[in-house]
Amino acid sequence: MTKVAIIGAGPCGLSMLRSFEQAEKKGEKIPEIVCFEKQEDWGGLWNYSWRTGSDQYGDPVPNSMYRYLWSNGPKECLEFADYSFDEHFGNPIPSFPPREVLYDYILGRVTKGNLKDKVRFNTCVTGVVYSENNFEITSHDKVNDKFSKDIFDYVVVSTGHFSVPFIPEYLGMKSFPGRILHSHDFRDAEEFRGKNVIVLGSSYSAEDVALQCHKYGAKSVTIGYRHNPMGFKWPSGVKEVFYLDRLEGNKAIFKDGHEQEADAIILCSGYLHHFPFLSEDLKLKTGNRLYPPKLYKGVVLQNNHKLLYLGMQDQFHTFNMFDCQAWFARDVVMGKIKIPNNSEIEKDINKWVSMEEKLENPDQMIDFQTEYTKELHNLSDYPKIDFELIRTHFKEWEHHKVEDIMTYRNNSFSSPVTGSVAPIHHTPWASAMDDSLKNFLNKSKN
Ligand SMILES: Cc1cc2nc3c(=O)[nH]c(=O)nc-3n(C[C@H](O)[C@H](O)[C@H](O)COP(=O)(O)OP(=O)(O)OC[C@H]3O[C@@H](n4cnc5c(N)ncnc54)[C@H](O)[C@@H]3O)c2cc1C
Ligand SMILES: NC(=O)c1ccc[n+]([C@@H]2O[C@H](COP(=O)([O-])OP(=O)(O)OC[C@H]3O[C@@H](n4cnc5c(N)ncnc54)[C@H](OP(=O)(O)O)[C@@H]3O)[C@@H](O)[C@H]2O)c1
């Protein structure tokens, strides 16, 4: 019997488990599956942890999510085709849920069956090598401190790529008297109440961490961009300036001459695709981009078609794109999708990579990833979902952000699965301090 290893039980790993479960329900014979998860529970980044650094076993904490994190895109854009928000919550809910609500949704469809039995929790994969047509996986049972070796025919890497921070150094950091941290270790914006905060970066973490600090009472927030400013209409107390040059004592000096006293520096400088457990020939080497090269259909490793990667792209689309990838990967494993010859693969990868390199603005990037997801969707029996509506939603969302970065989360979108329209949330995001599931759902029923 074919044996498949899934490494990681975050949203991508769960999509993979779900895809096999759905095939089995249709009467198909599925392979033997083992999913390795180094945390004590599933859900990946959405399984919030207060911990930073390493866990009680000395293993690096993968979590990068923080308290008060709300979805930064409309939930309708990430909805599962086979499990709608309406089905999970029993009635329509607002479009921008906090983390706990999305976590509940992600787990909803996988907790119904016996998928959890397939996951080895607290088990970290420490080595993967390929020889003689199969993979040998070494894993560490962290609780019992025991190493095991197992043989598999296919390996699915779904370990995420927003867990290992990229941490640059700036002149003066060694003598800076305040706190310096990466967004990976940011947990609670309350810590920065009354403080002058410097945020470095110009992508989603920089945007959201800056707004969180502002919302929870930072005295000032100064964002230093490196290449392009985000350029939003920032609320008073938040400003965006050009690139940090150096720190002198507690003073941050920027390349445009701007100077700002600082109590804390938060590096929102992104993450590394980091796979220390894979042998060199199996490692995907890429930055955070919409089409990492060397992956056929964004999934199958070009030089080893039994190694499948999920969710390695920079992401507009998330959960339903992961599903399309997982359904595709499942059909590759089950022999329903045939991988073409090397020159076809090369041609296909080059086509996507060269299109990606020409993208100039967010609308084009949304179009690109929507086209990619639609193509994958057409290759499997993943249920019907309206990706054209999702495309339109994403563009509208981008424009809402440009109109007002403080209010974009108050808007409502319609479901690409059920068509239902989300109610407006009872409290505008900027004044919603209680982000619990109970508060979000209870009041939304009023
Ligand atoms: C701060 C932040 C906020 C985000 N907010 C949103 C949002 O609002 N909406 C959205 O759609 N997306 C958001 N994302 C994007 C996020 O990448 C996806 O939502 C999703 O979590 C990716 O799923 P994944 O399974 O690829 O990775 P992860 O969620 O990272 O899961 C990977 C899993 O693999 C496990 N693992 C790693 N290495 C090993 C190993 N060696 N052995 C065993 N297990 C291992 C980890 O413990 C983890 O459980 C956010 C990302 C970040 C960093
Ligand atoms: N739900 C939410 O609200 C929320 C919040 C946070 C994050 N997220 C998600 O988290 C994921 C990761 O986002 P991210 O912003 O952490 O990573 P990212 O999108 O990869 O962006 C990395 C940023 O780091 C900057 N950078 C890199 N090196 C730098 C340096 N030496 N000095 C200054 N800046 C540097 C880059 O700037 P250049 O452009 O100049 O290279 C870029 O702006 C995304 O999927 C996002 O959606 C979601």
pLDDT at 443: 62
pLDDT digits (tens, 9 = 90+) for 60-90: 999 999 999 999 999 999 999 999 999 999 9
229 in contact with ligand 2, CB cutoff 6 A: no
**Distance (Å) from CA 321 to ligand 2 centroid:** 20
| Phi, psi for 51 (deg, rounded to 5) | -70, 150
Q: Which atom of ligand 2 is nearest to the CA of 168?
A: 31
Cα–Cα distance, 443 to 446 (Å, whole number): 5
Q: Rounded CA gap, 279 and 172, in Å?
A: 37
Which helix H or strand E contains 211, and what residues bound it?
Answer: helix 204-215
Query: Tens of pLDDT along 114-162?
Result: 999 999 999 999 999 999 999 999 999 999 999 999 999 999 999 999 9
Write down the pLDDT at residue 34.
98
Closest listed ligand to the CA of 268:
2
Closest ligand 1 atom to the C-alpha of 277?
41
Ligand 2 within 6 A of 208 CB?
yes
Q: What pLDDT was estimated at residue 402? A: 97
The CA radius of gyration of the chain, in Å to the nearest whole number, is 22
Tell me 269's DSSP state: -
Point out the ligand 2 atom lying closest to the alpha carbon of residue 99.
1
Hey, which of 95, 203, 401 would you mutate to test ligand 2's pocket, going by the most ligand atoms within 8 Å of its Cβ? 203
Strand partners, 216: none
How many A from CA of 203 to the centre of ligand 2? 4
- Contact status, residue 310 vs residue 329, Cβ threshold 8 Å: yes
pLDDT of residue 442: 83
- Minimum-distance ligand to the CA of 128? 1
Q: What is the tens place of the pLDDT at every residue in 176-209?
A: 999 999 999 999 999 999 999 999 999 999 999 9
For residue 202 and ligand 2, the question of a CB distance below 6 A is answered with yes
For ligand 2, the distance from its centroid to the CA atom of residue 269, given in whole angstroms, is: 5
Query: Global pTM?
Result: 0.98
Q: Which ligand is nearest to the CA of 319?
A: 1
Element (H, E) at 7: strand 3-7
Q: How many angstroms separate the first and last alpha carbons of the chain? A: 53
pLDDT of 446 higher than 50: no
Distance 34 CA to ligand 2 centre (A): 33
Enumerate residues 6+ apart whose C-beta is below 8 A from 298.
291, 292, 312, 313, 325, 352, 372, 376
Cβ–Cβ < 8 Å for 119, 273: no
Task: Find out whether the beta carbon of 12 lies less than 6 Å from any atom of ligand 1.
Answer: yes
Spatial CB neighbours of 112, under 8 Å, sequence gap ≥ 6: none
The model's pLDDT over 378-425, given as tens digits with 9 standing for 90+, comes to: 999 999 999 999 999 999 999 999 999 999 999 999 999 999 999 999
Q: Across residues 315-334, what is the average pLDDT?
A: 98
Q: Whose atoms come closest to the Cα of 77: which ligand? A: 1
pLDDT for 444 beyond 70:
no
- Are 11 and 106 contacting, i.e. CB atoms less than 8 angstroms apart? yes
Q: What percent of the chain has pLDDT over 90?
A: 98
Q: Distance between CA atoms of 22 and 429, rounded to whole angstroms?
A: 37
Mutate to test the pocket of ligand 1, among 162, 184, 286 (most ligand atoms within 8 A of CB): 162
Q: Is the CB of 204 under 6 A from ligand 2?
A: yes
Residues constituting the chain: 446
Cβ of 407: how many Cβ atoms within 10 Å? 13
Give CA angle at 97 (92, 102), nearest 5°.
95
Secondary structure (H, E, C), 212-243: HHHHCCCCEEEEEECCCCCCCCCCCCEEEEEC
Residue 79: closest CA among 440, 430, 446, 414: 414
Query: For ligand 1, is residue 10 a contact (CB within 6 Å)?
Result: yes
Q: How many CB atoms lie within 10 A of CB 73?
A: 23
- C-beta neighbour count of 429 within 10 angstroms: 18
Q: What is the mean pLDDT of the chain?
A: 97
- In angstroms, how far apart are the furthest CA atoms of the chain? 67
The CA 262 to ligand 2 mean position distance, Å, reads 21
Average pLDDT over residues 9-22: 98
Question: How many whole angstroms from 162 Cα to the centroid of ligand 1?
Answer: 6
